[in-house]
Structures are given as C-alpha cells and as structure tokens.
Structure 1
Amino acid sequence: MKSAPQKIYVAGHRGMVGSAIVRQLLARKHDPSNIVLRTHQELDLTDQAAVRHFMQTEKPDQVYLAAALVGGIHANNTYPADFIYQNLMIQANVIDAAFREGVRRLLFLGSSCIYPKLAEQPMREEALLTGPLEPTNEPYAIAKIAGIKLCESYNRQYGESHGVDYRSVMPTNLYGPGDNYHPDNSHVVPGLIRRFHEAKLQRSPAVTVWGTGKPRREFLHVDDMAAACLHVMDLDPGTWRDQVKPMQSHLNVGYGDDVSIAELAQLVARVVGYSGRLSFDSTKPDGTPRKLMSSARLEALGWKARITLETGLVSAYQDFLNRSQNRHD
C-alpha cells in the first residue's frame, strides 16, 4: 500500500481552491502537521529568492500550485499587466524551486480560458494553442499556458533522469465557499450572489446583469475541483502516461453541462430569494460565446463531478451569508 507523502505544500491555501484542497486533505486524514501553508505576508511567491529559501527549508514531497491572481472580466480588463506578470512569476518561481529541491510530484492549476475563443465545443485538451484567445482575459490565459508548458518542459527534460512528474489540471468556471464577492473584481457567480442579495435587502425592483445573457458557461463547485486535484495527484505514473498523450501534461476538469448566463442569473435569484425583475445590459462585454469543457479523459480515469449547480449555489450563498455576518460582528 502506497504511503502518504511526508509533506504537502499547498500554495495559495487562503484562496477558494487552495482552501478546498486543504479541506480535502484533512478529510482524507492527512496529518495537519505535514500540510505546509504560508500566507502571502509570510511568503511572497513573486520573490524568487524567498521561494527558493522556503523550498530549501521545508523540502515538501508534493506541491499543489493553487496560488494565482484571479478575477472576472472587469478585473482582467483593468489590470492586464498585474495578471500576466504576477501569475508568470508565481508559477516560474514555485515550479523551478520545487524542482531544485527534489520535488517529484507537483500539480499546477490552470484555467479554461487557455483555450481559443472559438474553440470547438466541448473543448478538448488538444484545442490548446489552435486559435486566438478571448481578448478580455488574454494576459491571464497566456500566463496559465506558460504554466502548463513549464510543467511539460520539466517533465520532458527531467522526467527520466530525475523522476519529475508535474501535472496540470484545467478547471472550468469555479464557485463555492471561499469565493471573492468583491462588487467589481469578482467572477460571475459570486458577483450575482452579492448583487441579488443586496437587491433583496434594498427591495430593488430590478437587477441589471452584464452582457446579453446569451453566452453559455459551465460551473464546477470548488469542493468537486479539490477532489479532482487529489484524484489526479494520486494517479500512478503508468496510468497517467497511458491516459495523457506524450508531450502533454494537462487534463480538463469540468461539470459536464453548461447553462446560459440568463439561466444562471435566474437560478441565483431563486436561491438568494430575490423576486424582482432581471434585465441585461448588452453594452457590456459578453466574453467567449460558450465555454464547455470535455472531461472525458478525466472521467476515464475514474473521476466525475458530484455536486449539482443548484446544490452548490445554496452552499455558496450560505458561505456569503456567513462571511457577511462575520464582517458585521
């Protein structure tokens, strides 16, 4: 029986995905003292020297690279330099320092925005680098593509000689506990939760949603994503090589179905309990027309999402209420 790693470093443990990975590790009885965590104040991952010193000191056996600067369309449009620079630096520093200290197993978390704007649906792993990206989040997407290629390159150069096995997972749109509910810089689900909640409290007769409402998106609960991360990390090298094509190191992680933004807004309004009118502002950007990922390869490896969208939205709204209450205490 395979023994658990002595040390697991979760980069970005305060973020939505990182915190969910920690919850999954603890639920699977990993010793908390062997889960290595650092806040941004304790370790700036854009600081190469600091990251190398950390790896030299802690020497983890596995690394989950969930740290990233993330945001929605507005944030990506407003801070493109921040999104490409910070994410490139985080990825390069962590992956290289991990290699230098003998970390053989690393999992990099990317994003579905790596695929071309007009990629064939559902998007398969082979669609990477086959067409132009969505302009509104191109800097972030390019950084994430670079992360995938870093993992591929270290595998190609050091896989046989050093036993390097760095893997990447590309989640679809994520939501759930630990999300960012900022009024301007959030993704669509937390943004809608906040707006409908505030509209309910203010008894607003209507809420306006960005865009036409026609684009279709796939949404995956963050606890499902965390479970997929552990599943992929635990796959033995032989199984991984058989399922993932040579020279490719990433797998899609999706829910398997999508909804229109209009349908999503109606569902969030129902979960929140807002009964006013919904309207759509077509002067605001829609982004990619459709983003549905094929998770067939991961499903063939024994993993499938379990949390339905409505059930997941209920938990996400409860998380928002809990955090709102804590801010008011």
Structure 2
Amino acid sequence: MSAEHIQRIYVAGHRGMVGSAIVRQLSNKPGVQLITRTSAELDLRDQQSVAEFFATQSVDQVYLAAAKVGGIHANNEYPAEFIYDNLMMQSNVIHQAYKHGVTKLLFLGSSCIYPKMAAQPMSEDALLTGYLEPTNEPYAIAKIAGIKLCESYNRQYGVDYRSVMPTNLYGPGDNFHPQNSHVLPALLRRFHEAVENKESEVTIWGSGTPKREFLHVDDMAAACVFVQELDQAIYRAQVSPMQSHINVGTGVDCSILELAQLIAKTTGFTGSVKTDPSKPDGTPRKLMSVSRLANLGWTASVTLDEGIRQTYDWYKEHLRSLREV
C-alpha cells in the first residue's frame, strides 16, 4: 500500500483499559499506522507539549480515550483533579487536532453526563435536562464540556468530531484498586480475596438495589472503530452536528446485588452476600438507550457472564503485577 493511503492514527490514552482495547482493534486493520505516547512522554494537560506533538506527527485521526477515571470513592476524594485533568487533556487535544488539520476525531465520554433522575433508558436527548449525580459531578461536567467542544468545532470549522458515551465498562486492563476502582472490578477483587481468605461473608456498599449496565471493553473498542469509520452521510442521518454524541451500551442492566451474586458464583465464593445501606448508592438506575447505535448497525456481542469470566481470568493471570502497584 502506498504511503499516501496510510492513516496515521493517534490513540490518546493507549495504556488505559479502553485505549489499549482500541489499539488491539486498530492493530489488525491494514493501512493504519498507530501513534501512541505514554503520559511520561506527553503530558496532555500541558498545552505547549500537545501543540508540539501535533506539529510534528502528521496525525490523520484521533481517538481521545485519555482520561482520569475512578469510582464513587475516587470521585468524592479527588474532585478537583477529576475536573481539571479531564478539562485540560480534552481541550488541548481537540484544539490542537483542529489547528493541525485533523478532521476526524472520536471523543470518549461517559454515561454519567446524564441527569441523576433521567428517564430510563437514557437517550442522547436527556443531556442537560436535569441535575447531575453529585458524587461524580466534576467528572461529568468535564465530559459534557468535551462533547460541546466537539459540537462547537463541527459547527464553526466544519470538522467531523464525534463523541461516544459508554455505559459502565469492564474487562482486561481494568483498575482493581480496592478503593479507587469501579464497582465490577472492585467486587471481583473483593470476592477473590474472600475466597482466598476463606471468609464466610462479603458486604457490598449501599443497598444493592441500584441498577447498572455493563459493557465489555472489547465491545466498546469495536463500537468506537465502527462509529469513527461510518460514512459521514450515514452518521449524520442519525447524529446532527449539534448533537455529536451517541450512546454505547448493551441495553440490559442488573442490580448491584445481582452483579455481586454473579461475581460470587464466578469466583467460587459460597458464603453470604450482605449489603451496607449506610454507604452511598449513587444514581438509582443508569440504563442507556442504544437504539441510535443499533439503527446505525452495531450491537454488543459479549454477554455479562462471559465477560466477567474473561475478566476474572485476566485478573488472576496478572495478579502479581497488580498487587505490586
């Protein structure tokens, strides 16, 4: 293939769970030259460094998967970092991409952009129609700003910057920190350790009644590439330049208690599972409407049972290195 047909694609956040899954997807495609930088090599919060990077790399496309992420505990403990780091990273990348002629960019957001009490399932139209969940409002505000950056650059400069809003993600490469991780990996670790320590019961945060939707990260990566590569006319038939975001999920949810029971079964835990209603529940329900993406021709393929088994296998395989972090 001649050099002019090679697409130089920058994946920001390639070491993260989603970024690494996108790299796996793109690595199998012909005519793609991947560009990656670690956070040590390129601090995306630094405007000058990002400008110099784009000035020298001749980037054709961007997948903006870099973000500071975490669960309820982390969002409560570090709100300033969650809003500042995410605002700076996405603003620098989106602006410098535009300045250096990148016309195709995919921004990864989060389902937490929607109001706490949004009608279920949450459609893209629910954005900015109510108050956000307080525990992760700073992160959500940053992600909403990223969506609006894409919409504004589309409107003013005629670029094709798209946004995808994943539901709760999990899978290989996830963060299994006992305090700062999301619910599914946190529970996987908790139940695994309970089995190791021969504990008779495991107590989970909250009442167990909130419902959540979970999407395997390989499905998310496949959806990202699918959306990025859609013909613009087909994409715009479903997504207008003034509403650049599209939901990515399974369209199926379960309660946190049901999730805990499924993980208990996967890890071989045979004790009792209890709840602690004194701990915060977060949003009562977060189910995505995925009809827009389905109409475009994509649906998730990894079931929750299968995905948890795969993730648990990965966790056990990488347990030694995870515990050293």
TM-score bracket for the superposition, by shorter chain length: over 0.9
Distance 2:216 2:125 in 1: 24
Paired AA for residue 98 in structure 1: A
Q: Which runs of 5+ in 2 are unaligned?
A: none
Matched position secondary structure for 1:40: coil
- Return the offset for 1:101: 0.5
Q: Which residue of 2 aligns with 1:250?
A: 245
Q: Which residue of 1 aligns with 2:120?
A: 121
Distance 1:167 1:327 in 2: 34
- Return the offset for 1:170: 0.1
- Return the offset for 1:208: 0.7
- Return the offset for 1:275: 1.0
How much identity, in percent, do the aligned residues show?
A: 65
Q: Which moved more, 1:123-132 or 1:267-276?
A: 267-276
- Return the offset for 1:325: 3.7
Does residue 233 of the first structure (1) align with residue 232 of the second (2)?
no
TM-score calculated relative to the size of structure 2: 0.97
- Return the offset for 1:4: 6.1
Q: Which residue of 2 aligns with 1:11?
A: 12
Distance 2:247 2:183 in 1: 20
Contact in 1 for aligned 2:168/2:214 (Cα 8 Å): yes
After TM superposition, list the pairs within 5 Å mapping 1:59-74 onto structure 2: 59-74=58-73
Distance 1:20 1:214 in 2: 31
- Return the offset for 1:245: 3.1
Q: Which runs of 5+ in 1 are unaligned?
A: none
Q: Which residue of 2 aligns with 1:198?
A: 193
Paired AA for residue 36 in structure 2: L
Distance 2:99 2:58 in 1: 10
Does residue 214 of the first structure (1) align with residue 209 of the second (2)?
yes
Matched position secondary structure for 1:218: strand
Q: Which residue of 2 aligns with 1:272?
A: 267
Paired AA for residue 21 in structure 2: A
- Return the offset for 1:26: 1.4
* Structure 2 CA distance for partners of 1:251 and 1:136, relative to 1, 3 Å: same
TM-score calculated relative to the size of structure 1: 0.95
After TM superposition, list the pairs within 5 Å mapping 1:136-147 onto structure 2: 136-147=135-146
* Structure 2 CA distance for partners of 1:5 and 1:107, relative to 1, 3 Å: farther
- Return the offset for 1:58: 0.6
- Return the offset for 1:273: 1.1
Q: Which residue of 2 aligns with 1:92?
A: 91
After TM superposition, list the pairs within 5 Å mapping 1:1-329 onto structure 2: 5-29=6-30, 31=32, 34-159=33-158, 164-326=159-321
Q: Which moved more, 1:293-302 or 1:244-253?
A: 244-253
Contact in 1 for aligned 2:155/2:241 (Cα 8 Å): no
Count of equivalent residues: 321
Contact in 2 for aligned 1:5/1:61 (Cα 8 Å): no
* RMSD of aligned residue pairs (Cα, Å): 1.3
Contact in 1 for aligned 2:213/2:287 (Cα 8 Å): yes
Contact in 1 for aligned 2:163/2:244 (Cα 8 Å): yes
Paired AA for residue 26 in structure 2: L
1:222-262 C-alpha deviation (Å, 9 max, x unpaired): 00000000000001111111111341100000111000000
